[in-house]
Structure formats: C-alpha cells, structure tokens
Amino acid sequence: MAQNEAAKLENILGRLLTPDNTVIQQATAELKEILKSPAVIGQLASLLTVSQFPQVRQYAAILLRRKISKLWNKLDSDSRFRMKQLCLQALTQESIKIVQHSIAEIISVIAKYDLPEGNWNELMILLSEYTKSPDGKLVEIGMHVLKSISSNGGETLKPYLSSLFPLFGACLSNTDNVIISSYALEVMTNIMDYLGPNDIAIIKPFIPKAIDVIKKLLTTDEIRAQEAMEFFDQIAESNINLLNSNLLEVIQFCLQIAQNDQFEDSTRCKALSFISWVTTLKKKSMLRLNLVPTVLEVIFPILSSSASSDDTDMDDDESENSVVTNAGQLIDVFALHLPPETFFSFLFPYIDRYFNSQEPLKVKAALVSIAVVAEGCSEYIRFKLLDRMVMCIGKGIESHHEIVQNAALYALGQFAMYLQPDVNKYAPNILPLLFNHLGNLVKKATANKTFAISRAYYALEQFCEHLDADINPYLQSLLEMLLATLNNTQISFIKELAISALGATVNAAKDAIRPYFQGIVDILKPYIILHVADSGECFDLRLQAIDTLGCLIRCTNEEILGSFAEECVQLGLNLINEVDDPDLRRCIYSLIAAISNPTPNVIRKYINTIAMRMISSIQSRDGLLIPTGIGDGPLSGLIDFEDNGSDDDDDDKYCEVSNAFLAEKEDACNSISEIAKNIGNSFLPYLDESLIEVNKLITSEWENIRKAAVSCLATLCRLLYACHLQFKSGSAPTVFKALENLLNTVMQIIGEDPDRIVVIAALAAAEEIMRDLREDFVNQCPELFPGFIRIVARVLNNGVACQDNSDNGDAEEIDEGIAEYDGLVVEHAGNLLPIIINLVGGENFAPSFGEILSLLVKRNRPSSSVSERSFVIGTLAEMSASMRSAIKPFVKDLYPLFLSSTDDEDDDVCNNAIYGLGLLAQHGDQVMYGNYMDILQALFRAAPKRGNRCRQLLDNICACVSRLIIANDTLVPIDNVFPQVVSNLPLVVDKEENKVVFTSILKLLNAGHAQVFSHMDRLIVIFATVLSDSEVDEDTVTIIHHIVANVRQRFPAEFDKVVATMNASQKAAMLAVFEGKSS
C-alpha cells in the first residue's frame, strides 16, 4: 500500500515536469491534497532512494525539507529514526550533485534538532569517513553537508569543533579541489559567532590560507569567491583582533581585487567595503601600518577611471554597487574615522595633483574627494583649507567639462551642509554663478539628461537652506527663478527638484517667507490634490510638495494659517486612508507635526486618529522581505497548505527591509515627539502605548530608527515628568520608574551601541532629561547618577562600543588625535558632567572629580584639535562652576592648566580658560588669593594679542575681573583695571555675565570706592542700555535696580541729569525698572 502511494506521488511530481500547463495544473491540485496527509513524509523520503528520475528526487527532497522543518518534533521516535536512516542512505547512493545538495539541506534541518542532543552520532561518523576519504568527491559531499548544517545553525557543530579544526586546515590546503576549500571557509564563517576565546585563536593560522583559496576561486568561480570573502567580514564582526598580524596582507589583497577591472564590480565593491569596515574598527592599525597612502594610491585611479565618466545619465555611478561610488565612500570613511591632520597629510597631495591635471576625469576625482571629506573633517577644513577648497569648487563650476561641473556642484552642496556658517561669506560670489549655471541647464534639459541638473539643484538647495537670514538679499530673485521653473518646464523630475529647493529656501528664510505664503500655497496645491490613482512621477511630485508645505507651515503662525491648518490635517488623514504607501504616510506625519507648532489646538482636535496612525506605523512589520534563497522555485507555493504550526526552518531573521518602511518608522517617531512636545497634556492618553511601542525600536538593526526612538522616548518622558511637576498627583513612583528605566536604557545604549550617531542621540537625550530633573527625582533614584558618571568616564577613556578601542592593547600607541565625529561623542558626554554635578551636588561629586579631571587632561595634548582643546578647558570650567566651593581641592591642578591655556592660539580655548580662572577665583577663596596678579597679567596680555577680532574674549575678561573683585577686591588694583572694564561695557556676546559684572560694581559701590563714582555717568547709561535689551534676565534687572536706587538716592540731581541725556528707549527702560520694583 505504501509503495503504491509513493508511486502515485512520484507520478504527480513527474507530471509537474511536463510542458503541458493543463497537466501541471491538475498535478498541482492533486499534490495539494496529498501534502495534507501525515503519511506523505514517509512517501517523500522513500522517493529519495527509489525514484529513477533525478528531478523527482530533487522535488521530493525540497518538499521533504519543508515538511520536516515544520513537523519533526511531532514525529514519533521510530519515524524519526527511519527518516534519518533514509536520508543517510540517499546521501550515500545519490550521484547527481544538485540532488545531493537538496538532501544535505534535509540533513541540516534534522541536525539542527538532534545533533545538540547527541541523537545522531551516525551522521558525524559518516561525515568523518567522507571528509577523511582519499576520494575527493566524497570529501566534497561531506564538506557540503557540514556547510549546510552550519548555515542552518552554526551552534549545532559546537560540540564537534575539536575534530573539525584539523579538518579545516586540511581542506584549506587541498590544492586539487578548491570547492572543498571554499566549503571549509563557509563552515568557519558560519560557526565564528559560536567560538570561545581559545577556539577563536585557532582560526588565526587559517587567514593566509584563506587568501590563497580566494585567489584561486577568483580565477575559476568569482561568485563563490565573493561568498568566501565573507570569512574576513565575519572575523571583523566577531573578533577583529584576529587580523592584527595579517592585516597588512589582507588589506593589500583587497586592494589587488579593487584595482583589477577584470573582476565584477560586485567583487571589487566587496573588497573596498571590507577596507572601509576595517578602518572603522582598526584605524590606529591602519595608521601604524601606513596603509592609508597605500589605499589612496589605488582609490584615486578608480575615481578617475573611465567608469566614472557616465554620471551625466545618473546611471551606475549612483549605484551602491558602483566601484567608483564605493571608492568615494572609502575616502568618506577615512575622513570620518581618522584624525584630520594626519589624513590630510596623505590626501592633499592627491587632491593637488589631480585637480591641476589637464584630464577632466582626474579633476573630477579631486573634487569628489573634496566633497566627501566635508562631513568628517569640517573643522580642519574650516580652519586650514576653506578658502583654497572653495576656490577649487568655483573653478570646477566654471569648467567647460560637464563632468567637472557636476563634481564641483556636489562638493558645493557638501560644503554648504557641513561648513556653515563659514561658507556663507562666499554667497555673493557663489549664488550668482549658481543661478546662472542652473538657468542654462534648465533651458537645454531633456527627460533623459537630468544628472547635471540634479547636481546643480543639490548645490543650490544645500547652500540656500543653510544661509538662514543671509538668504534675504537673494530671496525675491530665488523665488522667481524657482517659480518660473515650475511654470515653464514639463519635466517632472525638474519640477520635483524645484519644489524641494523651494522647501530649502523656506527653511532658510523663516519669518521672511510669510509675505509669500499664499502664493507658494497656490503653487503647491495642484501637486498635492491629485487623483488617488495618480502614481509614478505625479506621486513623487505630490510627496515633495507635501514636504515643502510642511516647511512653509513651520515658518508661519496661527493668524496666517487660519482654517488652512485644519484643511491640511483633514487632507492628510484622507490621503493616508485612501493610499497605502509608506512614503506618503511619512510625508503626512511630518506635515501634521509641522502644523502642531503654530496651531496645536487643531492637532488636539484630531489627536486620537493621528496618534493611532503613527503608533500603527511604529508597530507595523510591513516591508520586511524574506531573504533570498528561502523559496524553492516552482514548488514554493505548495508548501503551506496544511500548516498550522511554526516553521522553525524559516525563522531566520528578515534580512532585507524596504527603505520606505524604515523611513516611515523613523518619521513616525520624530513626529510623535514633536506633536507631544507641542500639544503637551493632550498627548497623555497616548503616552503609555507610545512609550511601549517606541521602546521596542531601541533594539532595531537600523541606526536611524534607534536614533529616532531614543530621542522620541526622551521627549515623551520629559512630558511625563513635566505633567508630574505641574499636577503633583500621586503618580510620582510611576513617573520616576519610567524615567529611571529610560535613563538606564540610555546608559546601555551609550555603552553598547556601535554607531556614533545613536550614541550621540542617547547622550543628548540624557542631557535634555537631566536638565529637567528636580531634587525629588534625585532623592528617589540616587544610585542612577554614579552609573552615569562611570559611563561618561568610559567615553572619555575611549571605552564604549562606538569608539575605537580595539588597538588599546597594542604595544605601539598612535597619538595622532581623534576623528572629528569621535570628538562629538566625547563632547556630548562632557556636556553631562556639569549637569550631573548640579543634580548631586559638588561634595557628592568630589570623589569622582579627580578621575574625570585626569581623563580630560589626557585629551589636552599637543596633537589635539582646536575643538578638543576648547572642549577640555570649557568642560572643566563648567564643572568648576557647578562644583562651587567643592572645587577647592582641585585648584592646584586646574589653575596652571587654565592659566597656560590663556596663551592658546585659538580664541575659544583662551575664552574658556579665562572663564575658568574667574570661577576658580570666585569659589577658591584663600587657595586662589596668591594668584590674582598672575591672572590679571594673563588677562591683559591676551586682549591686545588678539585685537578686536574676538568680542566674546573682552566680555569674558570683564567677567573674570569682576569675579576677582567679588571674591576679594582688596587684592585687585581697582584704579588700574576698573576703567578698562567700564570701557568695554555693556557686554555684547556673553550677556549672561552682566549680572556678575554688575554684582562687582554693586560691591564696590557699597564699599564706597571712588572709581565707581568717577564712572557713574557712564555706568548709568550702560545700565539703561542693558535694561532696554528685550533679552535681559530678571536677576540682572534686580542688581541694576539696587545700584541705580542707591545712586539716585545719594545723588538725585546728578542722576536726573544723566537720565535727561538718554534716548527715549533708555529713559523708558530706566523708568520701568523703578516702577516694576516699587510695585
């Protein structure tokens, strides 16, 4: 009976191979029915050994694997035993390779269940016999089975590693069959994550052999060679230090691949990508081995190769698989992860040589390299190279070669994005050139030639968006040009670019755009109110128009918006109900969030629908794509007819995700955050669910989502705490627990997240939350803050996951400074220190101060960048302010550091040092008395040396002298310094220091010092000027009132005489202060 059923199944599978569609459809229907029977597993297994038709055996193997993966644990022990026996029998007698591979997949599924339990020793005995056989074909079969087992779960082989390592070595040395060697590499790649420290070390000798194997594969099977290269990727991910002794050899091998244009682009890109990855993990080793110039020697010829000349059609050059694109990205990685001074010593000779070449492709390569370093080396360029590089960009725009123009425009856009506000000073020269160039391009544009226009609009958009108020002189002409383009061109892509540039212009102009509001709305409306079925180019125009409308709304107010705000919300909600598209939802969420700024009441009216929609997007798993290879061709639709259980074999992580759905989640988080901030308590009904769902995204694989999630959680928890402070309800324990949980999560992210942008977001979130905290929370959660002190210390010591600490144990230490992005992580961590001190108190922080001081001082090296030196001195000064009198034990260490830094060539460093000296004097009391004259000499030495280029420096000198006077005026030569202080009042930049300066004046006035009275006429005018400033704070007003009330009482005639000489606003301000205080 069983044989008859197996024969029937064989017949059905055979009919699936016929070319007759009618026969196939009938056979498919019969197969669907037979697959519902539990007995079909035995029948399929039987066909593996009895069918004479290879394709039938293959189809049977595919179906059997899927059935077993679902039902293995439901089979009785006898059935499982027979199944394993049949599989081994089929493997030994099968001669067709493709069928062998399918049987190996069945074995791998069973092995995943039974090998860890020690229930299939026969399999490992057979594999041992095969892999040790002198017959190469048997060895290949055995290694393929091991590869399949490891692919299905590398931990399955963990108990057998001791016997496998010698096998790997033998296979890698096999010169007769490179396929066997490649299988060995794949098995090692798959088990790498499950190796212990001792096992990992055994892998090290295999690295040179792996290079030899991949070299052979590159000559015979390039696809398999790419798969074998995953071995190096897995080493980098699991234990990058394994490459220490072979790093030079591996990088040189990757460069050989990258520069060989006979290889497929995907192979060359994989090699370049590996170098990029290693740079992020082993930058010190890259410098020590002098690999950076070696890499650049290969990269620049790629950037200037003929493959890079096709960008006028926006084709392969824009593809992620383009070798040229990957070469540019590698320079970007260098810029982001290497110390700028060191990197530019290697890079600039190439830029100089290539830019001065007569070959357009080489000039393009130079300009592309200038473009991609703008983000990572912005500070270095700003201080050392800005004029020179902008001159290169300008020449490139004026070039007669379109390929050079495009690269120059790309560089201009990058500079506009990352080098503000310094690059704004070039606007009078750059913008007319850009307007003219863009106008000419649009006139001769065709639908098939848009790359040059996209580059030009990119430059225009970035430059304009970051101009801020500096855009106003060009606003009218720019709007006219963009609107003319929208009216005159029929090319949708150009319309989309113009609408995007319009949004950038709006962002820059802010309030200045309001007179144009209605006109811009009238232009955007037709693109937004399209027929629901419109798609393609029209749909893209709609999305861009919605984004630009959101920008416009953010720059307006409730009065101008009127009923249009509610109209926009209704339109947006209707659109996402009618059109199921993640990009559209993302745009609508951003638009609604924009509306919540000027018109929060409109959003409150629709908040239930809005919140539920956004939370749904955060929860959604839409867009997750099954990894390639899971399906089984024509049989993939026959698998799940009868399944009611889980398919353990298919529980693999989803490895592909639609970028649109990721962007939707990211924007949903950002929009919830903005809306909650703007509508406040009205968001409370949705707070719990939002916190729960957003918190789930903290562990997302995608860094932008993690970044958005942690920022959103911070906003939601701040709202929760603000409501607690406002209502003082009995929910304090719940509120405190939520805050404590988030701050613990933030600490974990700071310590463990590998991506710097996420860590920076987490540090910024902690800073925002801690600025809100009050004594009640600190008292309830005192243990939280020592944890934050420890994590900040780890950051300062390069000890968190996103920092390069892989080389810390190397014998030779590279001291070349740090990359600018690494500096941002450290700066954000440093920002927490004075806040934490304010929360816990200086006395409680004092035990940690010495360690933090030591870590900060280590960053104040000769090789440190300007921003790093400024950060160290500024952070220590702010910490001194927060420590107050508890700073005294540390004065002996801080004072010489601050004093020497007043001679720093950088104004910001000097500024921060002067601020720090004043604070030490203010809080150090007797410990500082002996230093007053040295401080004064340093102050008045710093000012003339810098001239008038730094107004903030003069403000800080005035404040520092004032702190000396407040602390002990008897040690200050008042007759000499007071006139100089008065001559530089009122303060211009650091206006918050006015209260310090005026407090010192009040002290001298109360002491009856003659200098105050001799300058009183001037001081009264200064007070009136400060009072007429709309930004003056209440503390400053109070101090001024005390001073002028004293003077007015003692010298009424003289006081009234001075007031009579004032202008109207000064008189009004002076009168108001008396009226306000008297009332």
Q: What is the pLDDT of residues 803-832, one digit of tens each?
A: 876 554 443 444 556 888 889 999 999 999
Residues 313, 444, single domain; the answer is: no
354 and 489 assigned to the same domain: no
Same domain, yes or no: 321 and 387: yes
- Residue 546 contacts residue 576 (beta carbons within 8 Å): no
pLDDT at 682: 96
Based on the fold, state whether residues 447 and 504 are members of the same structural domain: yes
Number of domains in the chain: 2
Q: What is the mean pLDDT of residues 239-252?
A: 90
295 within 8 A of 255, measured Cβ to Cβ: yes
Binned at pLDDT 50, 70 and 90, residue 35 comes out as: confident
User: Is residue 509 situated within a structural domain?
Assistant: yes
Asked if 1004 contacts 1012 with a C-beta cutoff of 8 angstroms, the reply is: yes
The answer to whether residue 520 scores a pLDDT higher than 90 is yes
Do 251 and 359 reside in the same domain of the chain?
Answer: yes
- Given pLDDT bands bounded at 50, 70 and 90, which one contains residue 624? low
Question: Residue 43: which pLDDT band, with cuts at 50, 70 and 90?
Answer: confident
Is residue 264 within 8 Å of residue 322, measured between CB atoms? Answer: no
Domain boundary among 357, 391, 419: 419
Do 478 and 509 sit in the same domain of this protein?
A: yes
- Answer yes or no: is pLDDT of 1073 > 80: no
pLDDT band at 3 (very low <50, low <70, confident <90, very high): low
Question: Measuring CA to CA, which residue among 862, 866, 884, 863 is closest to residue 874?
Answer: 866
885 close to 923: Cβ distance less than 8 angstroms: yes
- Top pLDDT among 725 and 247 is at 247
On the question of pLDDT at 626 being above 80, the answer is no
The whole-angstrom separation of Cα 366 and Cα 733 is 60
Residue 247 lies in a domain: yes
- Give per-residue burial for 582-617: e unless 16+ CB within 10 Å, then b: bbbbbbbbbbbbbbbbbbbebbbebbeebbebbbeb
Average pLDDT over residues 244-270: 95
Same domain, 246 and 384: yes
What was the pLDDT predicted at 1055? Answer: 85
Domain boundary among the residues 370, 394, 419 is at 419
Select from 135, 77, 68 the least CA-distant residue to 102. Answer: 68
Question: 70, 643 in Cβ contact below 8 A?
Answer: yes
CA distance 622 to 645: 22
SS3 category, 623: coil
* Same domain? 254 vs 391: yes
pLDDT band at 781 (very low <50, low <70, confident <90, very high): confident
Are residues 357 and 435 located together in one domain of the fold? no
Q: Vertex 671, ends 668 and 675: CA angle to 5°?
A: 140
* Stretch 179-198: mean pLDDT: 89
Please say if the pLDDT value at position 1079 is more than 80. no
In a domain, 991, yes or no: no
Question: Does the pLDDT at position 532 exceed 90?
Answer: no
> Which region holds residue 468: left if phi is over 0, alpha if psi is between -120 and 50, else beta?
left
Q: Phi and psi of 657, rounded to 5°?
A: -140, 140
- As a whole number of angstroms, the distance between CA 372 and CA 386 comes to 14
Q: How far, CA to CA in Å, does 58 sit from each of 46, 66, 98, 99, 108?
A: 12, 13, 7, 5, 16
Q: State how beta strands 656-657 and 624-625 pair.
A: antiparallel
Among 529, 560, 588, residue at a domain's last position: 529
What CATH number is given to the structural domain containing 284?
1.25.10.10
> With the C-alpha atoms ordered 1028, 1032, 1034, 1035, is the resulting torsion angle positive or negative?
negative
d(CA 448, CA 464): 27
> What pLDDT shows up at residue 153?
82
254 and 360 both lie in a single domain: yes
Query: Could you report the per-residue pLDDT of 116-162, keeping only the tens digit for each?
Result: 888 888 999 999 999 999 999 999 999 999 999 999 888 888 888 88
Q: At what angle do helices 537-554 and 492-509 cross, to 10 degrees?
A: 10
The answer on 386 and 450 residing in a single domain is no
Is 850's pLDDT higher than 60?
A: yes
Per the prediction, the chain carries an average pLDDT of 88
Instruction: Tell which residue, 91, 85, 121, 89, has the closest CA to residue 105.
Output: 91
Same domain for 312 and 413, yes or no, is yes
Q: Are the CB atoms for 594 and 554 separated by under 8 Å?
A: yes
Please indicate, yes or no, if residue 694 is contained in any of the structural domains: no
The rounded percent of the chain whose pLDDT value lies above 90 is 62
What is the mean predicted confidence (pLDDT) over 883-889?
96
324 found inside a domain? yes
Q: Is residue 21 part of a domain?
A: no
Q: Which of 527-531, 568-572, 1049-1053 has the lowest mean pLDDT?
A: 527-531
Boundaries of domain holding 254: 237-419
DSSP character string of 124-142: HHHHHHHHT-S-HHHHHHH
| Tokens describing residue 382 | 């700003």
**pLDDT number for residue 536:** 65
Give the contacts of 799 (CB within 8 A, at least 6 positions apart): 793, 805
% pLDDT > 70, the chain? 92
Nearest-CA neighbor of 336 among 387, 293, 392, 283? Answer: 283
pLDDT at 184: 94
> For residue 518, is it within any domain?
yes
Q: How confident is the model at residue 306 (pLDDT cuts 50, 70, 90)?
A: confident
Q: Is the pLDDT of residue 473 over 60?
A: yes
Residue 395 is assigned to a structural domain of this protein: yes
pLDDT tens across 354-386, in order? 999 999 999 999 999 999 999 999 999 998 999
Assess whether pLDDT exceeds 60 at residue 1040.
yes
